[in-house]
Chain A
Amino acid sequence: MSGRFKYSLFFLVLIAASVWLAVFSYPAPKLNIIACNVGQGDAFLVQYKSTQILVDGGPGKSVLDCLSKYMPFWDRRIEVVILTHPQKDHYMGLVGVFQNYKVENFIATPLDASAQEWGVLKSLVGSKGVNVINPNSDMVMRLGLIHLDILWPSSAFLASEGKPPNENRAILSGSASDSALRRVSLYRNGVLGTLTSKKDPNEFSILAILSYKDFNALFTGDIGGPQIDQIISSGKVRDVDYLKVPHHGSKNGLTSKLLEASTPEVAVISAGKNNSYGHPHKEVLDILNSFKIKTVRTDDKGDIELITDGETWFIKSSRDK
């Protein structure tokens, strides 16, 4: 066999193989929510076809393994990254995400942090021309078929911290004003790290209900009891199917009031195996148990994947065989 023929044939086979792999890796038209097993921290990947929303990045590089595993190999674009609040166990992994993926929108509060790594993330986001959005509880966003309803922080809370509610609305007043629901990319002009506060960063955690057809998921960051009461009294918490248990299952997070208001069917806890905080705390597991809510933990099950067509859902995880 001639050399030229051999190498051309090899080249053609390679092209064919790449195309077939790309076709087979195209995700089914269902919504997936993956609680990535990133150890002691949070990283949740929401995926519908080739649209991704990443909620937090975990404490290190393992979020990249999770993205690599669940995203199609040719998709190097993440439409939305949400950072609930600037603490290392939520943002460290995002540095690698911004380095390796094209991120279009970054939803984060203007709250600053002092760590060296936070500086790295801020300058990285600045240099990549990512659209930064500072959320507040007046915002409802749409990304394809996915809706994102921001519950916290409220404009009043941010205003009390010296952050007037804010540039985002000024931009919007020009566009259609009758509907509250807007495309994510219409929100603009957010900033990072302009707000310093004596309060615990956890209190600034972004709460959002993500919905796809009739399926609703509540993401809660590291929010604590007092803020939960405020959010519930605002009347924005509604019935959901999926709850990310606040603060890795700390007893300073979940309250029975939150469960009464949100009535989830499944609760997911993201915590590291044998972590030094003792998360998830027994108190929280007891509350969940008393409400008879199905509870799954990343320290126990690895990556936890929920798949839904918008009505029914099921769960599988990387460690059940």
Chain B
Amino acid sequence: MRYFFWPLVLIILALRFYFFFNIPQPYNDGDKIRISSRVTSEPIRYQTSQYLKLKGLKIYLPLYPEIHYNDFVVIEGEVAEDSLKKPKLVSFQEDRSFLANLRKSLQMIFQKSLPQPHAALIAGVTIGSKANLGSDFWEALKATGTAHVVVASGMNVTLVAKFIVTILFLFLKRRRAIILASIAIWSYAALAGFDAPIVRASIMGSLAFVAQELGRLNAAVRTLLISSWLMLMLKPEWVFDLGFILSFVATLSLILFDSRVKSKLGFIPSIIREDLSTSLSAQIGVAPILFVTFGQFNILSPVINALVLWTIVPITIIGMIGGILGLIFEPLGKAVLLLSYPLTSWFIWIVQIFS
């Protein structure tokens, strides 16, 4: 049984991929079509247009009205290879559910409290929204190998969870701290509107994390593999999704390398050792992926990451607390968010120097 289990799992996954990706393209070039669909990921906003992908077609719409994740849209246009030309937004229905509104309100609070690109950075880091990053800043992030911080990945989740456990561990028993941290991760996912990337990052992050803390190394790896397998069975298209890949790889490298890296960092002052080892060990797996996907390899990328990654946890924490307070009483939330300004300034400054 032991020897058959993993090959069997792989074969099932391969079959799932085969049947999923082998569907022929249902339309030809020049076809005039009408797409009625939910928006499956947050559109990217450029200077004068917004970009979204529906039914495998790239669509560029005018900037306003702004379309969001999970809105229902009806769009007409002409198929040209993999994009929809002359698109016209016939109608759209906003997703007015509680969670969608929460996510939008959080984004609004960030944007109202801080200038760009600080607001976009904090929105990217805390709720994984890269909608308003702007192309210049996005290019700079890619060039420095730091783009992964704004692609909601298991790494952010794991970093934050580790931090929460460390804090709780000051007051509570380890096991209780871990349970509370898992609750924190999932409240965080809820706050981010259960956006798909955040959910899978939370699943992977929390499962692997809990397994690592409670059990042995092998148990953690196995939990991660099984949960990723389940997700791919449900959503085969995620296999090409950068957020998914990064979540997987970052979590895996954390499980495998964190304790080893930490033991080698004895010479580093204890005040930053924990953070440094977390970010370095995640980098071991993440760096090659970033190189392949963004085609840009910055030899200094590990250095840049070491310089900026320590800001991610405090930015996320401030973003979450400030965002929640802002929902209750806006001026208070704004005041808290202003505290992240020195951190985001540092992050942006470093990224701009090296890009």
Contacts and interface: CB of A to CB of B under 8 A. Distances in A.
B339 A18 contact: yes
A59 interface: yes
Given A61-B63, A64-B116, A10 B314 contact: yes
A73 B113 CA distance: 9
Contact of A60 (B47, B119, B345): B47
A288 interface: no
A100 B111 contact: yes
Contacts of A117: 62-65
Interface string A90-111: 0010010001111000000000
A15 B115 contact: no
Interface string B28-51: 000000000000000001111000
A134 B62 CA distance: 28
A92 B314 contact: no
Interface stretch (A1-9, A209-217, A248-256, A262-270): A1-9
A15 B339 contact: yes
Interface in A60-108: 60-62, 64-65, 67-69, 71, 73-74, 76, 92, 95, 99-102
Nearest to A74: B338
A199 B222 CA distance: 71
A10 B275 CA distance: 14
Given A6-B271, A62-B47, A76-B334, A95 B113 contact: no
B170 interface: yes
A28 interface: no
Given A18-B339, A100-B111, A92 B64 contact: yes
A280 interface: no
B265 to A, nearest CB: 16
Contacts of A18: 338-339, 341-342
A39 B167 CA distance: 49
Interface residues of B, number: 33
A116 interface: yes
B47 A61 contact: yes
B169 to A, nearest CB: 8
B115 A73 contact: yes
Nearest to B270: A1
B112 A92 contact: no
Interface footprint category on A: 35 or more
A61 B46 CA distance: 8
A78 to B, nearest CB: 12
Contacts of A170: none
Contacts, number: 80
Contacts of A100: 111-112, 119
Nearest to B171: A4
A4 B115 contact: no
A14 B339 contact: yes
Contacts of B115: 67-69, 71, 73
B343 interface: yes
Given A3-B170, A65-B134, A17 B342 contact: yes
A3 B342 contact: no
A210 B111 CA distance: 30
A10 B119 CA distance: 22
A69 B63 CA distance: 22
A59 B48 contact: yes
B68 interface: no
B130 interface: no
A73 B114 contact: yes
A3 B270 CA distance: 10
B111 A14 contact: no
B108 interface: yes
A120 interface: yes
A21 interface: yes
Nearest to A10: B314
Interface string B140-173: 0000000000000000000000000011001000
B112 A116 contact: no
Interface string A281-304: 000000000000000000000000
A61 B45 contact: yes
A25 to B, nearest CB: 9
Contacts of B134: 61, 65
A21 B343 CA distance: 11
B113 A21 contact: no
Given A61-B134, A67-B115, A92-B48, A73 B341 contact: yes
B170 A4 contact: yes
Interface of B: 45-48, 62-65, 108, 111-119, 132, 134, 166-167, 170, 270-271, 314, 334, 338-339, 341-343, 345
20 contacts: A14-B314, A14-B339, A18-B339, A21-B345, A60-B46, A60-B63, A61-B45, A61-B132, A65-B116, A68-B115, A68-B117, A69-B115, A71-B115, A73-B114, A76-B112, A92-B48, A101-B112, A116-B62, A120-B64, A120-B65
